[in-house]
Chains A and B, each alone.
Chain A
Amino acid sequence: MSDSVRNIWTISKRELGGYFASPVAYVFIVIWLLLNGVLTFLLGGFFEQGQADLSGPFFTWHPWLYLFLVPAAGMRLWSEERRLHTMELLLTMPVTAWQAIVGKFLASWIFLVIALALTFPVVITVSALGDADMGAIFTGYFGSAMLAGSYLAITCMTSAMSRNQVISFILAVVICFLLILPGIPQVTNFLLGAFPEKIVRLINSFSVYWHFLGFQRGVIDSRDFIFFVSVAVFSLFTTSVIIRNLRAG
């Protein structure tokens, strides 16, 4: 293992341990699963739709659920380091700021993917009820993980902005919400009344909601993939700039 991989893994391991050392992680997962159940089976009309399909009743809620749960899971990543001054300790170790940023991001992402994977009973249900398109379910899960990753990277960024977790949380929710808005049907319909379709599609393409739709339908479009990756990379890069500025004073 190279030094940087080992450092990243060491930091991730510590962060992950931090999640499961407190009851917060379990509460988080329980809430996530409960909300998923309620939204899918009660509000999503899973049974009423008469189709063995997850995109409508299940994945469609994820941009909204993640909107609050991902910032909650990631808000402490850097603000806690700043509050406890452990950042000084961490960054005077023989690790680079990038290794720390990636390590922390990875830990939270693994945690979110674990939470996402625990929704597996819904897959069992849908395949027991009918002939489900497992390919679309797989891409849906993949897209959902990408979506969580880009929200999380934004949360990393806001977390580095403040030593107060609550402020980090609110900032992350606001930014993520702004990234949902341009793609939801209500906004799209409104815009179509005012602008030509080309411009509306351009506006749509800034929305995580819009890019997530393809994954739900069973398509992995490179544009969607690249969108999520660029949101994440950009946010993590901004995180590194913020941390560098913090240190430079």
Chain B
Amino acid sequence: MIKVENLEKHFGTKRAVAGVTFSVERGEILGFLGPNGAGKSTTMRMITGFIPPTAGTVNVGGHDMVENPIPAKRLLGYLPENAPSYADMTVYGFLGFCAELRGLAGEAKKKAIHRAIEMCFLEPVMHQSTDTLSKGYKHRTCLAQSILHDPEILVLDEPTDGLDPNQKHEARQLIRRMGEKKAIIFSTHILEEVDAVCTRAIIIDRGKIVANGSPADLRARSELAGAVSLRVIGASADAVKSKLNLVAGAKRAAIVKEEGAVVWARAYPEAHSLNGTLARNVAEAMQREGWKFDELHTEEGRLDEVFRNITWSETAASKKEENKA
């Protein structure tokens, strides 16, 4: 539904987006990750036709966004960053205005507004002016605007920003529900959200895509992925470490923490695998020694670690390059 090819955006000499290519199909929820200023919002603004790309193409549902913006925009629902709304309008009036611009009128318009109000839990503030709303309600008002016309494609720029934990949960469920029938792109810097909602994630740093895959794929890139963590009671840290180093399939071992007679240790695998072989090997080794352990599990890997590694090393690498130059 959305095809983005070699998208570039330059602001003066700064390359905010430097050659981004990806596509999103119906039924996919694409999480857009990246540090602040990585080019997430700029990319989304180009996809929704707010700013024209310096180079590259955006194709939305078969329509080129630059050549043929109106039919492309009809297919889109967009929640911009900071969720803007007209301060002098009521929630109902604002949604009515947006519905009319979306070509809805009469009974259809009324129905669409009430559906959106219901989906975004806006009943209590329906007739309140938008500048008196709390941040959460403001955000949901703008979200309601984006789903008014039941679009096939949704582009949401930080849809859960400024919501409390309950509202975040609701918003995620809403996105997941809608994602079954729509193509959704949403940006966030909350990594748990990627796990909770996305079918695929893209990490973008300094205008370039540095990772693209399912959340599980990304997690597997973590150093921690496949490592076995355990808690041993009644053995010295050194003994546990040297024993773990000898376990078949373990690359190296590390002591995480030591408290009296309790040792937290971790064995890292030679090859990434979550099939549990290493865990069994570790357990057998512990039993052979006669050490007691009350906790042992295989780590799935952590997104935040992957995120930090990828975006940090990229930044560091390019800083080095800049220094050389």
Contacts and interface: CB of A to CB of B under 8 A. Distances in A.
A249 B51 contact: yes
B76 interface: yes
A85 interface: yes
B70 A94 contact: yes
B320 to A, nearest CB: 29
B82 A93 contact: no
A84 B86 contact: yes
Contact of B84 (A10, A84, A247): A84
A91 B9 contact: no
B78 interface: yes
Interface in B49-77: 49-52, 69-71, 73-74, 76
A92 B103 contact: no
Contacts of B49: 91-92
A92 B100 contact: no
26 contacts: A3-B103, A6-B100, A11-B101, A17-B89, A17-B93, A21-B89, A84-B84, A84-B85, A85-B81, A85-B82, A88-B45, A88-B84, A89-B80, A89-B142, A91-B49, A91-B50, A92-B48, A92-B49, A92-B50, A92-B76, A92-B78, A92-B80, A94-B74, A94-B103, A247-B51, A247-B52
Contacts of A6: 100, 103
A89 B9 contact: no
A95 interface: yes
A96 interface: yes
A191 to B, nearest CB: 44
B160 interface: no
B84 A86 contact: yes
Nearest to A88: B80
A85 B69 CA distance: 20
A96 B70 contact: yes
Interface in A159-206: none
Interface in B179-225: none
Interface string A76-90: 000000001110111
Contacts of B98: 89, 93
Given A3-B103, A94-B70, A86 B85 contact: yes
A139 interface: no
Nearest to B100: A10
Interface in A226-249: 247-249
A94 B98 CA distance: 10
B313 to A, nearest CB: 29
Contact of A248 (B52, B74, B76, B86): B52
Given A91-B50, A96-B70, A247-B51, A84 B100 contact: no
Interface of B: 9-11, 45, 48-52, 69-71, 73-74, 76, 78, 80-82, 84-89, 93, 97-98, 100-103, 142, 145
Contacts of A91: 49-50
A96 B71 CA distance: 11
Nearest to A86: B84
A45 interface: no
Nearest to A247: B51
A223 interface: no
> Which of B71, B78, B81, B101 has the largest number of chain A CB atoms within 10 A?
B101
A22 interface: yes
B40 to A, nearest CB: 14
A249 B9 contact: yes
Given A88-B50, A92-B49, 6 more contacts: A10-B101, A17-B93, A88-B80, A94-B73, A94-B101, A249-B9
Interface in A10-45: 10-11, 14, 17-18, 21-22
Contacts of B69: 96
A7 B87 CA distance: 20
B150 to A, nearest CB: 14
Contacts of B70: 94-96
Contacts of B52: 247-248
A198 to B, nearest CB: 47
Given A88-B45, A247-B51, A248-B52, A93 B101 contact: yes
B105 to A, nearest CB: 9
The 9 closest A-B pairs by CB, nearest first: A85-B84, A94-B73, A10-B100, A92-B48, A93-B101, A88-B80, A86-B84, A249-B11, A94-B74
A95 B85 CA distance: 17
Nearest to A96: B70
Nearest to B86: A86
Contacts of A18: 86, 88-89
A84 B81 CA distance: 11
Nearest to B14: A249
